[in-house]
């Protein structure tokens, strides 16, 4: 079984969103499902192997069969479990609405910015209850990962889809879609695409020092565009069914490159900032919280002198 052991570590995580509930084109070699200090994840993690024997850890964001709405997803548990088994890089697929004429349904988008329009009801930090840290969220996605994915845009072009890069994503609460006034407001703010799941996923990945990039698949023009049908689940699912094959092709093209970049240490620059992000003093830190965080930060907490030896 995959675990914390450096030899066995599965370093790449893939999160599937609406329409992507499994990676059936890869060989399943293991399944992982255990409780984290933040509860159970949305689905078991599938460890799958590509034809070159390279492993990824796949997790379905809404659970198999799509049973969690965006506000109910146990995102802390999802990311904590991926981190606990050794994941350092996450490619997260998401179905999005397009707020721009040029981002056509079935196009792919790599956002580089987020505007958060969720309502604060989703737990969005690991640092609370007497053990506090603050991370920079200025760049919510990982640019090295984005560039690496963008290099493979020809795979999508061959299928008639364009891959757009460096766009702004607005994340709404849902589950109902936006009003026309909201959709037009987001356009006036400079937003290019809309979904319901980037927050808190991107924020929590940042707190865990995981290099994270959403790969968005446009399924509709939301409700702003005159002459176009207003978004429905049926529309999203139909376009996602067509998009799923392309997302698997893209993933296959990326994996060897990603494996090489990890071996070359290209993501090391994404690590180390948590050493300087804690602000709570050891004297007042909540020991229960320290124990919980050891699940995801065994080394850093030790180095900073927080230890569950207190117990």
Ligand X SMILES: Nc1ncnc2[nH]cnc12
Q: Which does 97 bind (CB under 5 to 8 A by kind): ligand LNRAV4D5, ligand X, none?
A: ligand X
DSSP letter string, 229-251: PPP-HHHHHHHHHHHHHHHHHHH
- CB-nearer residue toward ligand LNRAV4D5: 82 or 285: 82
Interaction site with ligand X (CB under 6 A): 95-97, 172, 177, 194-196, 219-220, 222, 231, 236
Helices 198-207, 75-84: axis angle to 10 degrees equals: 40
86 binds ligand LNRAV4D5 (CB under 6 A): no
Q: Is 77 annotated as a binding residue?
A: no
* End-to-end Cα distance, the chain: 30
CA atoms of 59 and 49, how far apart (whole Å): 14
Q: Which of 48, 79, 90, 95 binds ligand LNRAV4D5 (CB under 6 A)?
A: 95
Q: Is 62 annotated as a binding residue?
A: yes
Q: Which of 43, 98, 195, 243 binds ligand LNRAV4D5 (CB under 6 A)?
A: 195
224-227, long-range: CB < 8 A, 24+ apart: 224/99, 224/180, 224/183, 224/184, 224/187, 225/101
204 binds ligand LNRAV4D5 (CB under 6 A): no
CA atoms of 33 and 44, how far apart (whole Å): 5
In the structure encoding, which two tokens stand for residue 32, read together?
């992982």
Active-site choice (192, 222, 264, 309): 222
CB of residue 293 vs ligand X: minimum separation in angstroms?
Answer: 32
- CB-nearer residue toward ligand LNRAV4D5: 18 or 146: 18
Helix (H) or strand (E) holding 3: none
Q: Name the residue with tokens 């070359």.
A: 264
236 binds ligand LNRAV4D5 (CB under 6 A): yes
Q: Judge whether 45 and 85 are in contact, CB under 8 Å.
A: yes
Q: Is 257 annotated as a binding residue?
A: no
Q: Is 276 annotated as a binding residue?
A: no
Part of the chain binding ligand LNRAV4D5 (CB under 6 A), chosen from 32-40, 76-84, 104-112, 193-201? 193-201
In the structure encoding, which two tokens stand for residue 41, read together?
């994840």
Q: Please, which residues bridge with residue 235 across strands?
A: none
Active-site choice (129, 220, 257, 299): 220
Q: Say whether 222 is catalytic.
A: yes
Q: Can you list the alpha helix ranges (DSSP code H) found in the chain?
A: 75-84, 143-150, 153-157, 180-188, 198-207, 233-263, 287-293, 298-303
Q: Say whether 139 is catalytic.
A: no
What values do phi and psi take at 172, rounded to 5?
-100, 170
| Contact characters 105-144, ligand LNRAV4D5, x per CB under 6 A | ----------------------------------------
Q: Which does 116 bind (CB under 5 to 8 A by kind): ligand X, ligand LNRAV4D5, none?
A: none
Q: Residues forming the annotated binding site for substrate?
A: 196, 220-222
* Residues marked as catalytic: 220, 222
User: Binding residues for ligand LNRAV4D5, per CB under 6 A?
Assistant: 17-18, 61-62, 70, 94-95, 174, 195-197, 233, 236
């Amino acid at each position: 079984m995959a675990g914390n052991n450096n030899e066995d570590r599965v370093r790449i995580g893939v999160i599937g969103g609406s329409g992507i509930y499994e990676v059936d084109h890869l060989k399943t070699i293991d399944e992982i499902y255990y409780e984290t200090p933040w509860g159970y994840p949305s689905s078991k993690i599938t460890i799958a192997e590509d034809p070159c024997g390279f492993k990824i850890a796949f997790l379905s964001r809404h659970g198999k069969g799509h049973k969690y709405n965006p506000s109910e997803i146990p995102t802390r548990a999802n990311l904590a479990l991926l981190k606990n088994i050794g994941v350092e890089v996450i490619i997260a697929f998401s179905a999005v609405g397009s707020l721009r004429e040029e981002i056509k349904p079935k196009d792919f988008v790599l956002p580089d910015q987020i505007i958060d329009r969720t309502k604060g009801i989703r737990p969005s930090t690991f640092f609370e209850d007497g053990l506090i840290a603050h991370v920079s969220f200025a760049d919510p996605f990982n640019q090295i990962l984005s560039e690496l994915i963008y290099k493979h845009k020809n795979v999508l072009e061959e299928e008639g889809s364009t891959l757009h890069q460096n766009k702004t994503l607005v994340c709404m609460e849902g589950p109902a879609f936006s009003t026309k006034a909201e959709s037009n407001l987001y356009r006036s703010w400079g937003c290019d695409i809309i979904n319901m799941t980037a927050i808190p996923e991107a924020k929590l990945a940042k707190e865990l020092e995981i290099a994270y990039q959403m790969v968005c698949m446009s399924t509709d023009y939301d409700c702003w565009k005159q002459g176009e049908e207003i978004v429905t689940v049926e529309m999203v699912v139909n376009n996602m069914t067509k998009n799923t094959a392309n997302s698997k092709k893209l993933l296959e093209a990326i994996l060897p490159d990603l494996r090489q970049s990890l071996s070359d240490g290209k993501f090391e620059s994404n690590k180390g900032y948590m050493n300087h992000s804690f602000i709570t003093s050891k004297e007042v830190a909540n020991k229960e919280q320290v124990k919980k965080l050891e699940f995801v930060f065994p080394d850093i907490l030790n180095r900073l002198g927080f230890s569950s030896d207190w117990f």
